[in-house]
Structure 1
């Protein structure tokens, strides 16, 4: 049995490390996708122009709890879609520094085998 999410199902406005305000939400009921999208609202046609194979656009539904992202299934009828759209965020911040190498733990299990702990 699946449980409904404990949150309101709305997107949270957060600040990305590049400084832009983005919307974060798990979109979907079963295999949810963790979406980070620009908070700037676009028309369906403008979002479709920015869409790429690894950059999706999302329909924004306004709810009591705030904006909620849903799959943009209106691509067949873009001229008819009156809802705002947003596009996946592409961060422009410099990459973070790699983690400093620390002490490695030695385990008694062979490499590749999971240890229950």
Structure 2
């Protein structure tokens, strides 16, 4: 049986279909969220200004293994967090072109799971 990656594996840099470099990581231990965040690091205050109900910001911790995204619960404190933050990625690619495979000259990859469901492999 294949285990899903844990948050201890850290964030990995990948390229989004719109061409931007993003960070991907499962954040959380029990009911983990599959986070895709912009790789651009911001201050806590700048990330808080971009935060929306469906667009979260994440605290970035640097360890020997690389970057690790964590819940940004530091907003509850009075003092500003000194760690860098990242914000959830909002893809700017043309959905119609990407759906028809015209985004990068490739055909879209077919999966055996419905749209929006994760395939563990």
TM-score range normalised by the length of the shorter chain: 0.7 to 0.9
Of residues 63, 87, 99, the one that matches 1:97 is 99
Match of 1:17 in 2: 17
TM-score, normalised with respect to structure 1: 0.75
TM-score, normalised with respect to structure 2: 0.72
Aligned pairs, how many? 97
Q: Secondary structure at the match of 1:74?
A: helix
| Structure 2 Cα separation of the partners of residues 98 and 5 of structure 1 | 31
Give the deviation of 1:16 after TM superposition: 0.6
Runs of 4+ in 1 over 6 A off after TM superposition: none
Give the deviation of 1:9 after TM superposition: 1.9
More helix by share: 2
- Which structure has the bigger radius of gyration? 1
Match of 1:115 in 2: none
Give the deviation of 1:4 after TM superposition: 8.9
